[in-house]
Structure 1
Amino acid sequence: MLATPGTLPPTAQDDRWAYETKQDGQRVLVYLPGDGSVLLRARSGEDITAAYPELRPLGPLLGSTPAILDGEVLALDEQGRADFQLLQSRMGLAHAPARAARRAAQVPVHLVLFDVPHLGQPLLAHPYARRRTRLEELGLDGPHWSTPAAVVGHGAEALRASREHGLEGVVCKRLDSRYTPGVRSRAWIKIRNLRSEDVIVGGWLPGKGRLSGLPGAVLVGQRAGGRLRYVGGVGTGWSEAERAELAALLRAAETGVCPFDPAPRVLGAHWVLPRLVGEVSYSTRTRAGLLRQPSWLRLRPDLTPEESSAGLPDPPGQAG
């Protein structure tokens, strides 16, 4: 079952909804046949059990009761927050169990459980509130898995707390909703905390197909320590008119010298003089300081490059 992007339910309906933390990890269904084994499947249906050997001890925990659990595999940073970049070093190792075991010792994962569509019998038709109670009664809290509590009502407070703690957002789930596999349902609403910052355009990548001759993405940076540090490529957020306007501005500013220090390894990049300022939204930063899921908001002709990022702290790593 998938969530639909949206906003908080109306205040008058707040007590009809539960609120869970939106996790930044890999969605999995955990199959426990009741014979002591465990099978993990990704959203694609791929068997990814071998990628996460530390989750195998889940197999015998429910005895002979067959179950299907829904959850998210996370890799946690030093502050205990989900770090998708860390998790990427564990993903894709389902066909390399020896490598997966070595990585598990270096970057252990944690499975967050939030639903149980099957427990001895199908629970798909049961309301979320009942399924959630059944899940919590299982007491599945261990060294590499847990069942965090959901908050009923208080949606605005839950969303505000997720922002204050630097979390990705919240998922709102209607208490009376059925579990509908494969459906992006309005009964589950996801709200992502987006941040916005000013950036300096230092280059662009040509578009393809109908965007031929226009920028497919702009390469942006922010000033730190007297240098223009590359923070990523932005390829969404423009109207056709805005993209055409940006193309003219980029052509007028073209240069043969990369303005970023250090220079990013971006094939096919066209460099420009770093004088255009824009505002972008994004979800989080990677450990290297790159923007995740950036989207263009607007040009900022009211700002000079010096004004756009005054006082920006040095990113935690180097891009390249």
Structure 2
Amino acid sequence: MASLPRFVPILATPGSLPPPAVDEQWAYEVKQDGQRAVAYLPGDGSVRLLARSGADITPAYPELAALGRALGRVPAVLDGEIVALDGQGRSDFERLQSRMGLSGSPAKAARMAQRVPAQLVLFDLLFLRSGSLVRQPWTERRAALEELGLDGPHWSTPAVVVGHGEQALAMTREAGLEGVVAKRLSSVYEPGVRARTWIKIRHARTVDVIVGGWVPGRGRLGGLPGALLVGERHPGGLRYAGSVGTGWSDAERTRLAELLRVAAVDRCPFDEAPPVAGAHWVLPRLVGEVRYSTRTKAGRLRQPSWHRLRPDLAPDDIG
């Protein structure tokens, strides 16, 4: 890989769809939920995969080794996302987690590749043959990527749509996907930058939850809740749904601290006590609304964020 320059991946900025007046100036891709990877192919049939951190993750995904042979003697650097697909063909981060962290265990990585095969979703081309493409507009990089024809058993170049952002977002919602990434057609590739020319738009899901405990914050948040431990009612009791550590203003955090102190109890109200160090338990009577992205197979909320307290609801009203 000595002849290939290193690239730190560009990052997308969370946001909303571009205004309708400029919709045709943007392309839309399905947002994948996996592990970001830059693939270095020096043209000798080999491939090296580097994570966003710069760590070499090549040994963890032996099924992607054939990508180098598929491209042949053309040196290239590709940007993409490694995913594991569920039964409906959607990226499933929980499935992928069983593949991550295996770079030091090639034998186990090979076994897991049979059980949970990985797919490299390619969406940008940073270097081709003898020159960098990062200063070229997205449209030219995308055209060059498509000309490579990289669609194989464990890698693909999914389609994109120009304009029609609202329809693209609605389609991903109906399909149960995480959302879309909007990319300005004229945008250059900015290595290591969280760019405003790449915007990720996630579908916001909400759920009413019951607060069963909390964990104190640190530093200036000492004595205040750093995270709430929340659950969902079911016929047998209260099932732990996860830890929520973002979404409050200072005033809301202070108000929650007062309510939690009044409701303090010694016994965990969840069916099974979550393995959370330093937890304080409360009577399960406070109801809140939480935003989240998806759920794990165990029902835990992924990327939860506090939205609001629901004083209009009692615990028995939900579930």
TM over 0.5: yes
Task: Determine whether 1:5 maps to 2:8.
Answer: no
Deviations 1:155-180 (A, max 9, x none): 01001111111111111011111112
- Which residue pairs with 1:150 in the alignment? 160
Q: Deviations over 1:77-121 (max 9, x none)?
A: 122111111111111111221121121111111110111111112
Displacement, 1:226? 3.4
- CA drift at 1:219: 0.5
Q: CA deviation at 1:225?
A: 3.0
Structure 1 residue 306 corresponds to structure 2 residue 313 = no
Aligned residue in 2 for 1:283: 293
Deviation at 1:152, TM superposition (A): 0.6
The aligned runs of 1:5-84 (5 Å cut-off) are 5-84=14-93
- Aligned with residue 199 of structure 2, among 189, 198, 202: 189
Deviation at 1:224, TM superposition (A): 2.0
Structure 1 residues 1-320: aligned runs within 5 Å: 1-120=10-129, 121-309=131-319
**Cα shift at 1:264:** 2.0
- Give the distance between the partners of 2:215 and 2:229, measured in 1 at CA: 8
- Cα distance in structure 2, aligned partners of 1:256 and 1:69: 54
Deviations 1:48-80 (A, max 9, x none): 100100000001212211001110000111221
More displaced, 287-296 or 180-189? 180-189
* SS in structure 2 at match of 1:90: coil
What's the TM-score once normalised by structure 1's chain length? Answer: 0.94
Task: State the 1:236 CA deviation.
Answer: 0.9
Task: Map Cα deviations across residues 123-157 of structure 1 (whole Å, 9 max, x no partner).
Answer: 11221111111111211111111110000110010
Gaps of 5+ in 1: 310-320
Deviation at 1:262, TM superposition (A): 2.7
Q: Percent identity?
A: 68
The separation in 1 between residues aligned to 2:132 and 2:124, in whole angstroms, is: 12
CA offsets 1:210-260 (integer angstroms, 9 cap, x no match): 111111111000112332111001111111111111111111111112111
- How many aligned positions are there? 309
Alignment TM-score, normalising by the size of structure 2: 0.94
Which residue in 1 is equivalent to 2:7?
Answer: none
- Corresponding residue SS for 1:15: helix
State the secondary structure of the residue aligned to 2:198: strand
2: CA distance between counterparts of 1:23 and 1:225?
35
Partner SS state of residue 69, structure 2: coil
* Secondary structure of 1:216 counterpart: strand
Which residue does 2:3 correspond to in 1?
A: none
Question: Partners of 2:185 and 2:30 in 1: how far apart?
Answer: 16
CA distance in 2 between partners of 1:250 and 1:160 (Å): 39
Question: Structure 2 CA distance, aligned partners of 1:261 and 1:233?
Answer: 15
CA distance in 1, matches of 2:51, 2:24: 32
174-183 or 150-159: which moved more? 174-183
**Whole-angstrom distance in 1 between the partners of 2:134 and 2:273:** 52
Q: Secondary structure at the match of 2:71?
A: coil
Paired with 1:277 and 1:83, the residues of 2 have a C-alpha distance of 29
How much has 1:40 moved relative to structure 2? 0.3
CA distance in 1, matches of 2:78, 2:119: 14
